[in-house]
Structure 1
Amino acid sequence: MPEKMDLQWLSEFIAIVLKHAYLGAFIISLAGSLIPFLPLPYLIPIVLLADRFNPILLGIFSGLGAAIGKITSYLLGLAGRKILKKKDGSLTLIARYVNKYGTIAVFLFALTPLPDDVIYVPLGFAKMNFIKFMFANALGKILLSILVAVLGKTYFYILRDYLGAEINIYTIISSVILMIGISVLLFKVDWEKLFSIYKTSGMKGVLKTMLPHPKRNPKE
């Protein structure tokens, strides 16, 4: 009985999330990204919604909400620039790199659970083109949200149709654990190395690095 009481709040939260569907995905993602350097795990509710709703639409609504929420990080950097009113060599150097690599950097950070505020605030400070920022930001967030939603839907589908498991509070908790596991794996990727490869070899070089290579027989 105490265990059921402990999980009651989670059941109520899930019911609220499911009730608002796509609008709920947008609002949750917006709220989760609104405060700079204090991100909330908005992708967990997206996993829950994916069991009942279209994962592509969920990803689009969630990604747009998350991207719009990140405007505050950009504006924080822009405000810092205006307050300091500093135009020295370091700012010129930052602006030069922003113009050259800013778009791909925003996209990569938006596409992963990396702490994107660390780069978004300096990009605002360097006054990166806002349209380019939002395009790369929204594209990355939408792709990430679609990926999470598709994985969530696939997870529930396998549980229900292949393993015959009932979708209840415990399977939902296990899906959250799976989501955390995926995030940990993404954190282990050497994104700095991939970015360096992208600068020298482009996206083809990045894909070649990430794909597994067949082991050669030493006797050959």
Structure 2
Amino acid sequence: MSASGSERPTDDLVGDGRPLRPSARTSAQRRTDRLWRSGVALAITVLISVSIFVISDRVEQFGRYGYPGVFIVSLLGNATIILPAPSLAVVSVVGSVLNPYLVGLCAGVGEALGELTGYLAGYSGRAVIEDQEHYARLVKWTRKYGLWVIFALSVFPNPLFDLAGIAAGVLKIPVRSFLLVCWIGKTIKTTLFALGGNALLLRLFGR
């Protein structure tokens, strides 16, 4: 999980990571590609944030719909820090009545996909950072240690992961690598929360 590959300019790479010949793209094409990626990333971020605003007063109800509900709550709860959803609380509650391992798996997938908003904001260069001190530190750590930083922050509940996702986007860490490591770490975390809810139910009610 090294960051060395993430520091190469993405404008000279094709989809599978192989370098293009210098003459393969003109400056105008590169500028067009950057603008297109920025526009798509911004549109996705705005769309998800607006969706959360519209259903924020009903987000806990998704937990009543089993595994799909856990996925949706986890997705929305991690898609923005503006209107945070009680996703881990829902994971714990649903994990007490359904299979906690499947709950953790569904929640991990949802959380990882939700973190794409921060990654895309950083990748597009449209992110607005208020906590510059912690952000600068995370960029430094991510540049040095690469995906290990993403993994470590995804395993534990903390407010810094949003900044880490932005940093990963800014440093052009491949999105597939970001998603994979993020999913592994978050699945570990959500499974532990689901198992905790299940253990609490057994302790209280002997079920």
> Taking structure 1 as the reference length, what is the TM-score of the superposition?
0.57
Matches within 5 A, 1:40-59: 40-59=85-104
> Equivalent residue of 1:151, what SS?
helix
Structure 1 counterpart of 2:151: 107
CA drift of 1:44 comes to 0.4
Structure 2 counterpart of 1:61: 106
Partners of 1:66 and 1:102 lie apart in 2 by 20
Partners of 2:67 and 2:76 lie apart in 1 by 14
What is the letter of the counterpart of residue 17 of structure 1? G
Instruction: Report if aligned partners of 1:46, 1:62 keep a CA contact under 8 Å in 2.
Output: yes
Structure 2 counterpart of 1:72: 117
Instruction: Report if aligned partners of 2:62, 2:70 keep a CA contact under 8 Å in 1.
Output: no
Identity of aligned residues (%): 29
Closer, same or farther: CA 54–79 of 1 in aligned 2, 3 Å? same
Structure 2 counterpart of 1:30: 75
Matches within 5 A, 1:61-210: 61-80=106-125, 98=142, 100-115=144-159, 116-161=161-206
CA drift of 1:40 comes to 2.4
Closer, same or farther: CA 111–53 of 1 in aligned 2, 3 Å? same
Partners of 2:75 and 2:93 lie apart in 1 by 17
Instruction: Report if aligned partners of 1:81, 1:125 keep a CA contact under 8 Å in 2.
Output: no
- Large movers: runs of 4+ above 6 Å: 12-15
Closer, same or farther: CA 131–155 of 1 in aligned 2, 3 Å? same
Partners of 2:68 and 2:167 lie apart in 1 by 31
Closer, same or farther: CA 15–106 of 1 in aligned 2, 3 Å? closer
Structure 2 counterpart of 1:17: 63
What is the letter of the counterpart of residue 151 of structure 1? G
Deviations 1:15-42 (A, max 9, x none): 7623x10000000000101114653220
Structure 2 counterpart of 1:200: none
Partners of 2:184 and 2:120 lie apart in 1 by 19
> Taking structure 2 as the reference length, what is the TM-score of the superposition?
0.60
Instruction: Report if aligned partners of 1:99, 1:128 keep a CA contact under 8 Å in 2.
Output: no
Partners of 1:71 and 1:160 lie apart in 2 by 39
Partners of 1:160 and 1:21 lie apart in 2 by 21
Instruction: Report if aligned partners of 1:55, 1:150 keep a CA contact under 8 Å in 2.
Output: yes
CA drift of 1:14 comes to 6.9
Q: Where does the alignment leave 5 or more consecutive residues of structure 1 unmatched?
A: 1-11, 83-90, 163-220
Structure 2 counterpart of 1:214: none
Cα RMSD over matched residues?
A: 2.6
